[in-house]
Amino acid sequence: MKPKELILKYGNNPHQNPARIYVNDGHLPIEILNGNPGYINLLDAFNSWQLVKELRAVLKLPAAASFKHVSPAGAAVGLPLSDSLKKAYFVEGMELSPVAAAYARARGADRVSSFGDWIAISDTVDLATAQLIAKEVSDGIIAPDYAPEALEVLKKKKKGAYNVIKIDPDYQPGEIEHKEVFGIVFEQKRNNVVPDESYLKNIVTENKNLPESAVRDLIIAMITLKYTQSNSVCYVSDGQVIGCGAGQQSRIHCTRLAGEKADLWFLRQHPAVLDLPFKEGVSRTEKDIAIDQFLREDTSEEEMQQWGGVFEKIPARLSMNEKKAWLAKMTDVALGSDAFFPQRDNIDRAAKSGVKYIVQPGGSLRDDAVIAACNEYGMVMVFNGLRLFHH
């Protein structure tokens, strides 16, 4: 029988003990199949599970998310990968099921941030997905079920301590939720709105051409934002998050942060990056950090020398002009914002990362200026009237 409570090692930090999770009525909707998940693990698990469950329900495709500190580093649906993405995500030669492809995409959005991630999978985890996860540094996974052979692979991770949680896919929480801060109980109606195509009808720009691929990507952006610490902005391309700016106090900082991540994602697919001369036996993590250092403008040549040991020879860096020329090929990107854009500077920054489709609530005093900026760039912008703050 499933328990009503689960005693945890500690809370957010080791000195916050005792700690537990529990329900007042019924029983917990999870089974711990392996490991001993902690407080933050479980926060990531329950937030990420809701995200992938909603993506699956709306888009009818397997979905996956890679979570760190209660925000998604990546989220995606199970579409096939191009050859360049397979190489950039280190999955060349691997047989990828749709479920495995969803996780490869979710992990590939921001591989540096996804180091030690919590994984959520919308469908039964198959062997192909487990074999992919076995190659990555991760803390745990939540899914509705696991194929027996997949579970055996996952149980061997982290010397047998890998966290594997099975969740009841039919579980529905109550309508009202509570949170305690400083001894004060907060109560509100649970955010049970599921963003779908019906929220994409109010197109406010001159360009009103919204293809099905953009509808899909804008839905991914909205659902991802619903489970991202606010303020937040999310860039999506070809069925996957490519940049998520979370927890910033300023909207433009969200847009810049997410845009920088989207740019790095695209630059990872540059031929010069795909062909970096790594030494035999270099780990994925070392490759991820070296690529990040290779691409960042603020990395000095001295710092590159420190990573020289992972290369057969230290490669020539891409020039600013080479990067600009490559980034100019990034097009048809979708962008979502969890609240309105107060200034056109967000639109100007988004345009630099190939954004063509935008969804946001609207309602700013400067909506007209923001719409005018979108019209200058030929963008399509939708006002969904739905704020998606998450705290």
Classify residue 377: in a domain, yes or no. yes
Distance CA 83, CA 269 (A): 10
Distance CA 103, CA 136 (A): 11
CATH of the domain at 300: 1.10.287
Q: What is the dihedral of CA 127, 130, 132, 136, to 10 degrees?
A: -170
Q: Are residues 251 and 363 in the same domain?
A: yes
CATH of the domain at 18: 3.40.140.20
Classify residue 68: in a domain, yes or no. yes
69, 87, 253, 323: the active-site residue: 69
Q: Are residues 34 and 129 in the same domain?
A: yes
Q: Is 391 in the active site?
A: yes
Q: Are residues 108 and 239 in the same domain?
A: no
Classify residue 305: in a domain, yes or no. yes
Classify residue 255: in a domain, yes or no. yes
Classify residue 135: in a domain, yes or no. yes
Q: Are residues 18 and 88 in the same domain?
A: yes
What's the sign of the alpha-carbon dihedral 361, 366, 372, 376? negative
Cα maximum dimension of the chain: 62
Q: Are residues 111 and 28 in the same domain?
A: yes
| 181 in Cβ contact with 359 (< 8 Å) | no
| pLDDT tens, per residue, the chain with 391 residues | 678 999 999 999 999 999 999 999 899 999 999 999 999 999 999 999 999 999 999 999 999 999 999 999 999 999 999 999 999 999 999 999 999 999 999 999 999 999 999 999 999 999 999 999 999 999 999 999 999 999 999 999 999 999 999 999 999 999 999 999 999 999 999 999 999 999 999 999 999 999 999 999 999 999 999 999 999 999 999 999 999 999 999 999 999 999 999 999 999 999 999 999 999 999 999 999 999 989 988 888 777 777 778 998 888 889 999 999 999 999 999 999 999 999 999 999 999 999 999 999 999 999 999 999 999 999 999 999 999 999 9
- Cβ-in-10-Å burial (0-12, 13-18, 19+) of 112 comes to middle
Q: Is 192 in the active site?
A: no
Q: Are residues 289 and 258 in the same domain?
A: no
| 266 in Cβ contact with 275 (< 8 Å) | no
Write down the pTM of the prediction: 0.96
- Cβ-in-10-Å burial (0-12, 13-18, 19+) of 147 comes to middle
For 309, the domain range is: 277-317
Distance CA 379, CA 351 (A): 9
Q: Give, rounded to a whole angstrom, the gap between the first and last alpha carbons of the chain.
A: 33
Three-class secondary structure of residue 358 per DSSP: strand
| 246 in Cβ contact with 233 (< 8 Å) | no
Classify residue 322: in a domain, yes or no. no
Strand ranges for the chain from DSSP E: 5-8, 19-22, 30-34, 63-68, 71-77, 117-121, 138-143, 163-167, 176-181, 184-189, 232-237, 240-246, 333-337, 355-360, 380-383
Q: Are residues 311 and 335 in the same domain?
A: no
Instruction: Among 167, 183, 205, give the residue marking a domain's end.
Output: 167
41, 231, 346, 384: the active-site residue: 231
Please report the pLDDT score of residue 273 as a whole number: 95
Q: Is 69 in the active site?
A: yes
Please report the pLDDT score of residue 296 as a whole number: 87
DSSP codes of every residue in 63-90:
EEEEEETTEEEEEEE-PPPPHHHHHHTT
Q: Are residues 23 and 88 in the same domain?
A: yes
Classify residue 184: in a domain, yes or no. no
The H-or-E segment that residue 43 falls in is: helix 39-59
Instruction: Among 111, 133, 167, give the residue marking a domain's end.
Output: 167
Classify residue 139: in a domain, yes or no. yes
Q: Are residues 40 and 139 in the same domain?
A: yes
Q: Are residues 160 and 251 in the same domain?
A: no
Q: Are residues 231 and 151 in the same domain?
A: no
Please report the pLDDT score of residue 1 as a whole number: 63
Query: What is the count of structural domains for the chain?
Result: 3
Looking from the CA of 372 toward its CB, the CA atoms found within 13 Å total 7
53, 68, 157, 226: the active-site residue: 68
Q: Are residues 261 and 300 in the same domain?
A: no
Q: Which among 148, 154, 138 has a CA at the least distance from the CA of 106?
A: 138
Distance CA 157, CA 160 (A): 5
Q: Which among 27, 25, 19 has a CA at the least distance from the CA of 3?
A: 27
